Amino acid sequence: MKKRLLFAERAFTLIELLVVIAILGILAAGLLTIINPVDLLKKARDSQRKQELLQVRNALESYYADNGKYPSSSEVVWGEPFSPYLMKMPKDPGGSFEYSYQPATDGSSYRLFAKLERCDDNQVIDSATCSTTTYNYSVTSPNLTVAPCADTALCPVVVPTSTPAPTSTPEPTATSTPTPTVTPTSKPLK
């Protein structure tokens, strides 16, 4: 009889177990609210989108160096090889939206577009709306800048805006060039 009493005194009651489970549940919910795994997954996919478009940009620049022009839109097929520049053209990691490649008709420039999930990203195009049907991130050929967004289904549209021509920098004059002087800072080691 004494053994049973000792065992009963060491066990937890049902109320104590429920209180501990409730406290753990509250802590877990608070932790999930702070971490916000859904937002972290969106951020990771957006980062992947940006990285993939930069890889495509590098491949397109290599193509331009070899051919003197950028490929036509029919030559860039998402998910297919782009030999020898990329093993496979990337596809959007979310799967519900495609990247867009829009070259100039003469092959002199291009724009790449993606739909970022996080509208508060600092690289979202300012004038782009954050809807499920519009692109809001762009990578362009080096000779273009991103144009303001037009009111169309796929925003932004390709509106070539050339970057300003480089201005000549003034040549340094002989009097403006300082002459270097040598001053020892420490003794040489023996």
- 81-119 per-residue burial string, b: 16 or more CB within 10 A, e: under 16: ebeebbeebbebbbeebebbbbbbeeebbbbbbbbbbbe
The predicted model scores a pTM of: 0.62
pLDDT confidence band for 30 (50 / 70 / 90): confident
- Cα–Cα distance measured from residue 120 to residue 47, given in angstroms and rounded to the nearest whole number: 13
Q: Is the per-residue pLDDT at 101 higher than 70? A: yes
Q: Which residue has the higher pLDDT, 72 or 5?
A: 72
Phi, psi values for residue 116, rounded to 5° = -80, 145
Whether residue 153 has pLDDT greater than 80: no
- Between CA 163 and CA 73 the distance in angstroms is 23
Q: How large is the average pLDDT for residues 130-134?
A: 72
Comparing 100 with 4, the larger pLDDT belongs to: 100
